[in-house]
């Protein structure tokens, strides 16, 4: 019982660390859908482990209707998970989530097809997954990594990495301290960076073409005069 109370208290305390809008424990207990979804899942997961599959699924679906967050009762969730504005979050059956993980709205931790066995991602400790990101498949998101908003991740992510884009690409890895308080909407965008690089190249080519035209104009005009004479 003491362990259960400590887990529930951790679920509340992490909200105060991650959300500056939280004012009181009473407010968190009664108004935070992410906390409600996690608590319902902890009970559903206990029922799932007791092989009460129908009751566990029924409870998870009731929680989904109330919170807008779908967590399969088979998923394994560690301590101090923070789901912020969790509408549309989906966590699959064989998903495993470590401690101190942050998930924003619209995130999917799903599979890629009808394969059997382990088919959902494993998210290690201290990972941040930003709004709208899709992590699909049976692979690991390494510790202290960040997944940028709207990214689609289909492959393994090493620890201490930042992933952005569609498909997701690692843009920061090791050697740089990962700051979980980073504004996730300001993560680097390799697609936009590539477009900016192409624009600069086009501008440079246009300048070269203009210079060539200017340099060749007198010669062309001279040849034309000779022909007329």
pLDDT at position 60, please? 95
> For residue 117, with 0-12 CB atoms within 10 Å meaning exposed, 13-18 middle and 19 or more buried, which class applies?
exposed
Return the domain boundaries, the chain: 2-188, 189-229
CATH number of the structural domain 2-188 = 2.160.10.10
Peptide bond into 167 cis (omega under 30): yes
Per-residue b/e over 147-181, b at no fewer than 16 CB within 10 Å? bbbbbbbeeebebbbbbbbeebbbbbbeeeebeee
Mean pLDDT, residues 85-105 taken together:
92
Mean pLDDT, residues 131-150 taken together:
92
pLDDT digits 0-9 by tens, 24-61: 889 989 989 999 999 999 999 999 999 999 999 999 99
Q: Are 149 and 168 in contact (CB under 8 A)?
A: no
Query: 176 falls in which pLDDT band (50, 70, 90)?
Result: low
Helix axes 33-49, 53-67, angle to 10 degrees: 170
pLDDT at position 226, please? 44
Closest CA to 119 of 96, 97, 141, 137: 137
pLDDT digits 0-9 by tens, 96-133: 999 999 999 999 999 887 777 889 999 999 999 999 99
Q: Between 148 and 181, where is the model more confident?
A: 148
């Amino acid at each position: 019982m003491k362990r259960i109370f400590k887990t529930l208290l951790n679920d509340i305390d992490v909200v105060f660390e991650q959300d500056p809008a939280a004012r009181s424990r009473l407010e968190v207990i009664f108004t935070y859908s992410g906390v409600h979804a996690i608590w319902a899942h902890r009970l559903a997961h206990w029922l799932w482990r007791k092989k009460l599959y129908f009751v566990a699924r029924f409870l998870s679906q009731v929680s989904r209707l109330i919170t807008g967050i779908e967590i399969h009762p088979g998923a394994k969730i560690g301590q101090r998970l923070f789901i912020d504005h969790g509408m549309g979050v989906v966590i699959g059956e064989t998903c495993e989530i470590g401690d101190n993980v942050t998930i924003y709205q619209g995130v999917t931790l799903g599979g890629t097809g009808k394969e059997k066995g382990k088919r959902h991602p494993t998210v290690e400790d201290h990972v941040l997954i930003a709004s709208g990101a899709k992590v699909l498949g049976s692979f690991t998101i390494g510790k202290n990594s960040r997944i940028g908003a709207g990214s689609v991740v289909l492959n393994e992510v090493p620890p201490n990495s930042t992933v952005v884009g569609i498909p997701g690409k690692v843009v920061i890895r090791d050697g740089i301290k990962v700051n979980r308080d980073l504004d996730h909407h300001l993560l680097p965008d390799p697609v936009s960076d590539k477009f900016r690089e192409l624009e600069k190249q086009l501008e440079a080519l246009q300048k070269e073409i203009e210079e060539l035209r200017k340099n060749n104009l007198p010669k062309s005009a001279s040849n034309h005069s000779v022909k007329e004479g």
